[in-house]
Structure 1
Amino acid sequence: MQRRILVSVALAALLATSGCSGLLGGPVTFSASPATVNDNALNQTDYSLESIDNQTVSRNVSAAGETKEVEVTNVVANYHRTVDLGPLGEREAAVFTAFSSPQIDVLGQQFNPLENYNNHDLVMLLQSQYESVSDIQNVSSSERTVLGQQTVVSKYSAQATFEDGSSTDVYIVLTKVKHGDDYVVGVGVYPQQLDGEDQRISTLLGGLQHATNS
């Protein structure tokens, strides 16, 4: 399992391969606003910011006999916490990612592939894209408020393989919300042996912040 949450790249791949029919006119670009965790939540959980990256997906789309280039810029904020895994030693194995992706609005048509993906679809996308995450099983789901929106937070069990070939059982906690002009996905992955990590992830989700244009 890499330090960065692999689902961020999987989501970018989804946006790159999904259909974008009905686009006319000149070149179009769409950019998400960053979704990040506030300092108070980070201080409470001992998580640290690793990186904030832009992921630009570019593809040619054809409509009405024309081929146009469409660029969609997603923003990925990665956080981690160093934990003691006993025989496996200390590792940055508790990770959290906030992924924001823009709603596309062209000639009155609004769409984003994430709109039609529920939590189960997203976690299965993660498993299908990367061999380092396997055997995903649903554990529980609950409703809570994230970024002022009522949403379902889902918890899954899985096995994660580190870059050195060692592996451990993990939990994956995931949710998606529509906030302003963007979709925001929050994902936490942590070893099952850690006590209190579920509460830390809950605090990080509650500490999400995201600017809107609305």
Structure 2
Amino acid sequence: MRERIVAVAGVVLLVAFAGCSALTGGPVTFGADKATVSEQALSQTGYEEQSVNESVITRNVSAADQSKTVKVTNWIAQYDRSIDLGPLGSQRAAVFSTVATPQVNVLGQSFNPIGDYPREQLVMMLQSRYESIENVQPVGNYSTTMLGQNTTVGKFSADAQLVGGGSVDVYVHVTRVQHGDDYVLAIAVYPQRLDDSESEHVRTLLDAVEHATESE
């Protein structure tokens, strides 16, 4: 999953910088502050932390006969919980992930690896316990709060393949907000049969996302 984010983010950075000129000087470094979920919300929903890791992108960017090394540090946090899928047994198939990625500012212009990415494509970037997620279709959206801001959450249906085998219909929730100098993205995936309980869990987790910026 992290490799997928690195690849996509790297492509977006290359496209973003392609129109810049007069890139001179040494390497440019940008870093995000980590975004995680509060322990209280994890305890309330039954989710457990699986990993909180940095994802570093380093690219040599060329424009108008000039080159620049750009290093971007993102933070990825993954949480999940075990659920009973009947014939498929107990699976950690309820997944919630956050990604914090910095705004990239060069020569007075701002860019972001995922800031302008369509929600449908972001769905395909983050999958933790699923081998694949296909046939992603929008089913609606709703408003909630994340990091003290009102945000619109896109909800999608999809066909998913679990790691280790087994197919399941899932719902995917995606939202992002700008907070401080970073963008914070949250994605949740869970089997459709558990929508009544998991949709409430997702709202609880979204409201409990924490992102301490350097200015705070």
Matching residue of 1:200: 201
Q: C-alpha separation between the residues in 2 aligned to 1:11 and 1:184?
A: 14
Aligned residue pairs total 206
TM-score by length of 2: 0.88
Matching residue of 2:153: 153
Matching residue of 2:212: 211
The CA deviation string for residues 90-141 of structure 1, in whole angstroms up to 9 with x for no partner, is 01111110101011122322211423224234236669xx971111111110
One-letter identity of the residue aligned with 2:213: T
Q: Per-residue deviation at 1:65? A: 2.2
Q: C-alpha separation between the residues in 1 aligned to 2:209 and 2:95?
A: 15
The answer to whether the Cα contact below 8 Å between 1:38 and 1:207 also exists between their aligned partners in 2 is yes
The answer to whether the Cα contact below 8 Å between 1:35 and 1:100 also exists between their aligned partners in 2 is yes
Matching residue of 2:7: 13
One-letter identity of the residue aligned with 1:50: Q
Q: C-alpha separation between the residues in 1 aligned to 2:5 and 2:172?
A: 16
Q: Per-residue deviation at 1:14? A: 2.0
Matching residue of 2:106: 106
The answer to whether the Cα contact below 8 Å between 1:45 and 1:200 also exists between their aligned partners in 2 is yes
Q: Per-residue deviation at 1:142? A: 1.3
Q: C-alpha separation between the residues in 2 aligned to 1:35 and 1:14?
A: 20
CA distance 1:108–1:55, change in 2 (3 Å): same
The answer to whether the Cα contact below 8 Å between 2:131 and 2:163 also exists between their aligned partners in 1 is no
Gaps of 5+ in 2: none
The CA deviation string for residues 64-92 of structure 1, in whole angstroms up to 9 with x for no partner, is 42222211111100001011111000011
Q: Per-residue deviation at 1:172? A: 0.4
Which secondary structure state, in structure 1, belongs to the residue aligned with residue 163 of structure 2?
A: coil
Q: C-alpha separation between the residues in 2 aligned to 1:47 and 1:39?
A: 9
The answer to whether the Cα contact below 8 Å between 2:147 and 2:179 also exists between their aligned partners in 1 is yes
Which secondary structure state, in structure 2, belongs to the residue aligned with residue 12 of structure 1?
A: helix
CA distance 1:181–1:58, change in 2 (3 Å): same
Which secondary structure state, in structure 1, belongs to the residue aligned with residue 189 of structure 2?
A: strand
CA distance 1:192–1:9, change in 2 (3 Å): farther
- Quote the sequence identity (%): 48
Q: Per-residue deviation at 1:166? A: 1.2
Q: C-alpha separation between the residues in 1 aligned to 2:190 and 2:152?
A: 19
Q: Per-residue deviation at 1:204? A: 0.4
Q: C-alpha separation between the residues in 2 aligned to 1:125 and 1:95?
A: 13
Q: C-alpha separation between the residues in 2 aligned to 1:84 and 1:116?
A: 36
The answer to whether the Cα contact below 8 Å between 1:24 and 1:64 also exists between their aligned partners in 2 is no
Q: Per-residue deviation at 1:149? A: 1.9
Matching residue of 1:3: none
CA distance 1:95–1:124, change in 2 (3 Å): closer
One-letter identity of the residue aligned with 2:115: E
Q: CA RMSD in A?
A: 2.0
Stretches (4+) displaced over 4 A: 124-127
Worse overlay, 134-143 or 95-104: 134-143
